């Protein structure tokens, strides 16, 4: 490999990560920026030619990458999540697919003028949605749990089914040219399904037993699973072409629902790998496009997109949700969210080449039309889905609240102060006495360990975008923040400082990999805060002004308060942390734990105020507070 090829590969990686960062900052799916970047560096400026760079390895690389992406997505599918929604999911991934296939086929034939054979293949490709675009879109839209679960199941399950239908359509085209019967095509389809399901079940059972019985060293688990995915995909395809995607999907669903299989670390590894592969794939596939092929379609491409959005999808959702009991608002949102992703792009690219080799007319338009649908659905639904969900009142609240792990007096005092400031909170703990007192105080509480399987199913995290570990056990606080860091992000998982630390030593401090963000102050350990509270201290709020800013606030209570949170004028709560690079400003409200001495001064100020005494400016402000 020469230096130019190395530069191209490194450049693809840099562009991919830049696109991901821009998408994160703008809260839009990254696929949009990845596709635009691919078009820019490929047909735009001619910097990247994937066929010249990868040669014969291009499509094997694409196929293995898609296999990993589908396997990673299928690991997250849990049958208990769709309890009560089984009928909807079954229809969405069953007859609903046939509805989309039929409507899209007719649209491609009548609007563009394709032959029925080519239109049939395009219709099969368009039945997919895909986890690569559904996942990021759901994180942005944040629909209610039922809608999110249906869309996630549909996106992952229909991808291999769509690939199989594309194989069926392709075999039908080949059989037509060879004048073979329809029975031959159906036989190949049935054999492909059985091969994929059989390979997936056998591999899933075998790998599950290996993982359950700990027959592998921990450092070998992720690599072994990855190589197994490659092997199952390749072997299944060797037995019968195009059965590999179904095999790895079935294997992932089996492992994800098999009790006792430790998949958390596997999922974390696969998510990172999938992100890398996905980012590169979209750039590579977009770079293979030809602007001339896009322009040839003219108005007909957007017309087919309109049929998919306004006819095919509504018909599919209406049929799938009929008699399900889902509110009409949730049905409308299901109708509006159906972006196409990497499987549609990869399968269209693969079969476009095969059809061109067969000499089929207009086969070169298959991939451009697919990209029009991908870009159109992603752009339109990324921009409009969240407003639609809000208008229909089927969106979860903004994740500005706190999940508070701990139900002791400190956790309750902090949660009550946040709740009074209209910041959403939810407490979680296994101390029944603390849970009872928290409920009596009007705080929402989950009784149980946040690490339990029941919590994974039933702990309501809607609106909770950050974690506060405020329990008496420093080790448990660290464990909880490490457990939830994938859900909230490392910068949004806070814990009280370890009270066992002694100056000059870190022997009781967790390693940097598992260390949470320290809450409040280095000396504000659980038992220090408890002592302040037990001596008569309390959590109070103070609104800053131009005349009385945070500097004056610190001077007034120097050594007699622990700052906890600063609330912006819009009500967003920011926890105080050691070494923070921001300070509260005028108009912000500061929540602090004040000492008993300050509380006595407040009581005295209120007594004087109630008696009509002469107060100075600060005493007047304190009395009002």
Tell me the pLDDT tens digit for each residue of 383-426: 888 899 989 988 877 788 999 999 999 999 999 999 999 999 99
Helix axes 596-610, 617-624, angle to 10 degrees: 100
- In the prediction, which pLDDT does 268 show? 66
- For the segment 90-104, the average pLDDT, to the nearest whole number, is 90
Distance CA 497, CA 351 (A): 58
Determine the Cα–Cα distance for residues 314 and 316; give it in Å rounded to an integer.
5
pLDDT band at 622; cut points 50, 70, 90: very low
Mean per-residue pLDDT, 350-377: 83
Given a contact cutoff of 8 angstroms between Cβ atoms, the answer to whether 240 and 79 are in contact is no
Instruction: List C-alpha distances in Å: 486 to 157, 481, 551.
Output: 24, 9, 37
Residue 255, Cβ neighbours under 10 Å: how many?
Answer: 22
Q: Give backbone dihedrals phi and psi of 430, rounded to 5 degrees, phi first.
A: -105, 5
Least confidently predicted of 116-120, 175-179, 483-487:
175-179
Task: Encode 545-568: b = buried (16+ Cβ within 10 Å), e = exposed.
Answer: eeebebeebeeebeebbbbbbbbe
- Separation of alpha carbons 593 and 604, rounded Å: 18
pLDDT score, position 324: 83
Q: What does the pLDDT average to over 449-470?
A: 83
Contact 465, 488 (CB under 8 A): yes
Render pLDDT for 271-326 as a digit per residue (tens, 0 to 9): 677 778 878 888 988 888 877 777 778 889 899 999 999 999 999 999 999 988 88
The H or E element that residue 167 is part of is helix 145-177
Largest Cα separation within the chain, whole Å, is: 104
Is 573 within 8 Å of 421 (Cβ atoms)? yes
**CA–CA distance, 436 with 530 (Å, rounded to integer):** 19
- What distance lies between CA 89 and its chain's CA centroid? 20
Q: How many CB atoms lie within 10 A of CB 90?
A: 15
Give the pLDDT confidence score for residue 404 in this predicted structure.
Answer: 93
- Residue 317: predicted pLDDT: 93
Please choose, from the candidates 524, 207, 144, the residue with its C-alpha nearest in 3D space to the C-alpha of residue 337. Answer: 144
Q: Which residue has the tokens 């997505």?
A: 73
Q: What is the mean pLDDT of residues 464-486?
A: 87
pTM above 0.75, yes or no: no
- pLDDT at 316 (0 to 100): 94
For residue range 507-552, list pLDDT tens digits in order.
666 665 566 888 988 888 899 999 999 989 899 898 999 989 998 8
The pair of structure tokens assigned to 50 is 């994937």
- What is the spatial distance between Cα 237 and Cα 60, in angstroms, rounded to a whole number? 12
Half-sphere exposure of 159 (CA within 13 A, CB side): 35
564 pLDDT above the threshold of 90 = yes
Which pLDDT score, from 0 to 100, does residue 618 have?
A: 47
Residue 8 has pLDDT above 80, yes or no: yes
């Amino acid at each position: 490999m020469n230096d130019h090829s190395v530069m191209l590969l490194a450049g693809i990686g840099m562009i991919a990560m830049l696109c991901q960062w821009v998408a994160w900052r703008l809260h839009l799916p990254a696929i949009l920026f990845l596709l635009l970047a691919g078009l820019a560096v490929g047909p735009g400026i001619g910097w990247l030619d994937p066929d010249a760079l990868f040669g014969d390895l291009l499509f094997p690389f694409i196929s293995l990458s898609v296999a990993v992406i589908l396997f990673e997505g299928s690991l997250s599918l849990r049958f208990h999540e769709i309890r009560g929604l089984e009928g909807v999911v079954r229809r969405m991934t069953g007859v609903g697919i046939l509805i989309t296939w039929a409507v899209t086929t007719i649209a491609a034939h009548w609007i563009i003028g394709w032959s029925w054979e080519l239109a049939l293949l395009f219709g099969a490709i368009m039945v997919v949605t895909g986890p690569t675009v559904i996942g990021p879109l759901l994180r942005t839209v944040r629909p209610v749990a039922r809608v999110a679960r249906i869309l996630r199941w549909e996106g992952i399950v229909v991808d291999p089914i769509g690939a199989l239908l594309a194989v069926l359509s392709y075999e039908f085209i080949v059989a037509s040219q060879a004048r073979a019967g329809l029975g031959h095509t159906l036989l190949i389809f049935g054999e492909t399904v059985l091969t994929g399901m059989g390979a997936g079940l056998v591999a899933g059972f075998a790998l599950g037993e290996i993982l359950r019985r700990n027959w592998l060293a921990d450092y070998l688990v992720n690599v072994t699973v990855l190589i197994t995915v490659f092997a199952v995909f390749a072997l299944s395809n060797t037995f019968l072409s195009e059965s590999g995607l179904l095999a790895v999907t079935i294997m992932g669903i089996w492992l994800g629902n098999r009790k006792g299989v430790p998949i958390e670390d596997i999922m974390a590894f696969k998510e990172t790998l999938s992100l890398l592969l996905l980012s590169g794939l979209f750039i590579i596939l977009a770079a293979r496009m030809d602007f001339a092929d896009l322009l040839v379609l003219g108005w007909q491409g957007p017309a087919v997109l309109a049929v998919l959005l306004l006819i095919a999808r509504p018909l599919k959702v209406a049929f799938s949700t009929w008699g399900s009991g889902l509110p009409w608002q949730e049905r409308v949102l299901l109708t509006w969210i159906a972006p196409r992703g990497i499987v549609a792009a990869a399968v269209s690219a693969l079969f476009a080449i095969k059809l061109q080799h067969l000499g089929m007319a207009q086969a070169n338009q298959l991939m451009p039309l697919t990209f029009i649908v991908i870009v159109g659905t992603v752009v339109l639904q990324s921009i409009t889905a969240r407003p639609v969900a809000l208008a229909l009142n089927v969106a979860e609240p903004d994740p500005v609240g706190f999940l508070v792990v701990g139900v002791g007096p400190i956790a309750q005092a902090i949660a009550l102060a946040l709740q009074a400031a209209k910041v959403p909170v939810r407490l979680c703990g296994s101390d029944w006495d603390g849970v009872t007192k928290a409920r009596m105080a009007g705080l929402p509480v989950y009784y149980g360990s946040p690490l339990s399987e029941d919590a994974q199913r039933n702990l309501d995290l809607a609106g909770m975008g950050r974690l506060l570990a405020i329990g008496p056990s420093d080790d448990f606080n660290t464990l909880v923040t490490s457990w939830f860091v994938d859900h909230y992000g490392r910068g949004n998982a806070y814990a009280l400082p370890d009270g066992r630390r002694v100056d000059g030593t870190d022997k009781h401090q967790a390693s940097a990999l598992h260390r949470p963000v320290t809450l409040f102050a280095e000396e504000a350990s659980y038992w220090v805060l408890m002592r302040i509270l037990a001596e008569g201290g309390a959590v109070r709020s103070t609104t800053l002004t131009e005349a009385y800013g945070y500097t004056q606030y610190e001077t007034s209570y120097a050594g007699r308060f622990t700052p906890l949170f600063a609330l912006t004028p819009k009500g967003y709560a920011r926890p105080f942390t050691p070494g923070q690079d921001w300070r509260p400003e005028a108009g912000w409200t500061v929540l602090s734990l004040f000492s008993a001495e300050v509380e006595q001064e407040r009581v005295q100020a209120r007594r004087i105020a109630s008696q009509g005494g002469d107060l100075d400016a600060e005493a007047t402000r304190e009395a009002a507070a």
